[in-house]
């Protein structure tokens, strides 16, 4: 009988990403409700020293797959290793973050293992001993409550910045196990040749705690300077609507929305964004939404917790000055 809640840790350049701590914390809560153990699978190269951190957030066991071919994520290599470990251990639940990597990995694993998968979930729960996943549908207008059939593992991804991170317990440790697996080079169809990093050193939008976004109302790329000034003042990242990205004002990595990045920051400030349905789908789970728009009938105000009807070119600099005085 399938037992245990498993998660896949996500690392970049040997450092664990924030979403890893979120899903391990959530896995601990689910496992406690089921009376089962939490196992984290950690893949990478020379990555074993990170295993202790996972124990502090609730992992009972950490299975480390250490191989130079796993240093940088590739779908072929990761799916091969994880599917071998899953088949050998038969976990009941398998969780990962709904990041770009997590979504790619979950889809391929689901097909490889022949099991169901719930993508981009905002909540998990145990009802009558059954694992239930909740995810937004119809661009965030409704939520679907998903239950799984008898096949295991039940795979689900969690939207970054939605699940709360448990307070680390320094006294808690996990059993670290070296993974047993085979990796056939002939089966690896892709290889990362080069990684070109964003020179800005910005926090990825999916992990940002605060985001200041601009839309078509910005009128041009040069005007984003006022948003960057506000963002710097409050420690936020800068995002953009699809129309702004399509106009070439901001790179695609800044796009928030259904065809960009789905974000859930604590604070989302929308400047000159009307609130098209695809944009709302990408930020509606933000904890606090502030909208600045001169059109009082803009749809964004229906989602906003706070709204300012006015010219953003007057409001944003004034807001930045007030924040500066406060700080």
Q: What is the pLDDT of residue 200?
A: 61
81: left (phi over 0), alpha (psi -120 to 50) or beta: alpha
Total length of the chain: 327
The CA-CA-CA angle for residues 281, 287, 291, to 5°, reads 70
| Residue numbers belonging to the annotated binding site for FAD | 216, 241-242, 255-259, 272-279, 293
Q: What is the pLDDT of residue 141?
A: 84
Q: Which residue segments constitute the domains of the chain, with CATH numbers given?
A: 5-187 (3.40.50.620), 205-326 (3.40.50.1220)
- In the Cβ-directed half-sphere of 201, how many Cα atoms lie within 13 Å? 2
End-to-end CA distance of the chain: 56
| Residue numbers belonging to the annotated binding site | 216, 241-242, 255-259, 272-279, 293
Whether the bond between 59 and the residue before it is cis, its omega within 30 degrees of 0, is: no
Q: What is the pLDDT of residue 249?
A: 97
* Radius of gyration for the chain, computed over Cα atoms and rounded to the nearest angstrom: 21
> Which residue matches tokens 């890893």?
20
Cα 67 to Cα 77: distance, rounded to the nearest angstrom: 10
Q: What is the pLDDT of residue 190?
A: 87
Tokens of 140: 């965030």
> Which residue matches tokens 């406060």?
326
Instruction: From 241, 243, 211, select the one nearest 227 (Cα to Cα).
Output: 211
> Which residue matches tokens 């999916």?
206
Cα 241 to Cα 260: distance, rounded to the nearest angstrom: 9
pTM: 0.87
- Helix runs in the chain, H state only: 18-34, 51-56, 75-89, 100-113, 225-234, 242-246, 277-283, 300-303, 312-326
Q: What is the pLDDT of residue 201?
A: 60
Which residues, listed in sequence order, are joined to residue 177 by a DSSP beta bridge?
A: 63
- Per-residue pLDDT of the chain (327 residues), as tens digits, is 778 999 999 999 889 999 999 999 999 999 999 999 999 999 999 999 999 889 999 999 999 999 999 999 999 999 999 999 999 999 999 999 999 999 999 999 999 999 999 999 999 999 998 999 999 988 788 999 999 988 899 999 999 999 999 999 988 999 999 999 999 888 888 888 888 776 666 778 998 999 999 999 999 999 999 999 999 999 999 999 999 999 999 999 999 998 899 999 999 999 999 999 999 999 999 999 999 999 999 999 999 999 999 999 999 999 999 999 999
Helices (runs of H) and strands (runs of E) counted in the chain: 9, 17
> Which residue matches tokens 């809640």?
5
């Amino acid at each position: 009988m399938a037992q245990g809640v498993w998660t896949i840790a996500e690392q970049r350049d040997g450092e664990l990403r924030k979403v890893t701590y979120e899903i391990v914390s959530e896995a601990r809560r689910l496992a406690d409700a089921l009376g089962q153990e939490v196992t984290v699978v950690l893949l990478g190269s020379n990555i074993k020293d990170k295993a202790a951190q996972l124990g502090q957030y609730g992992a009972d066991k950490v299975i480390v797959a250490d191989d130079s071919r796993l240093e940088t994520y590739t779908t072929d290599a990761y799916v091969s290793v994880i599917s071998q470990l899953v088949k050998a251990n038969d976990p009941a639940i398998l969780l990962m973050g709904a990041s770009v990597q997590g979504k790619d990995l979950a889809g391929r694993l689901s097909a490889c293992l022949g099991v169901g998968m719930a993508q981009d979930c905002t909540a998990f729960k145990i009802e009558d001993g059954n694992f239930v996943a909740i995810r937004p549908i119809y661009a965030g207008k409704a939520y679907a409550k998903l239950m799984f059939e008898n096949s295991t593992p039940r795979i689900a991804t969690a939207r970054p910045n939605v699940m709360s991170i448990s307070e680390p317990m320094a006294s808690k440790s996990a059993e670290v196990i070296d993974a047993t697996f085979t990796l056939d080079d002939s089966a690896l169809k892709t290889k990362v040749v080069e990684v070109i990093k964003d020179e800005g050193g910005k926090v990825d939008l999916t992990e940002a705690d605060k985001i200041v976004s601009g839309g078509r109302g910005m009128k041009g790329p040069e005007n984003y300077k006022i948003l960057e000034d506000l963002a710097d003042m409050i420690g936020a990242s800068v995002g953009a609507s699809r129309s702004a990205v399509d106009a070439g004002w901001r790179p695609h990595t800044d796009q928030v929305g259904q065809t960009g990045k789905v974000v859930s920051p604590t604070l989302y400030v929308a400047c000159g964004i009307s609130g098209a349905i695809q944009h709302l789908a990408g930020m509606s789970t933000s904890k606090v939404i502030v909208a600045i728009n001169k059109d009082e009938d803009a749809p964004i105000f229906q989602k906003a917790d706070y709204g300012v009807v006015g010219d953003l070119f007057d409001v944003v600099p004034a807001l930045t000055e007030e924040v500066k005085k406060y700080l």
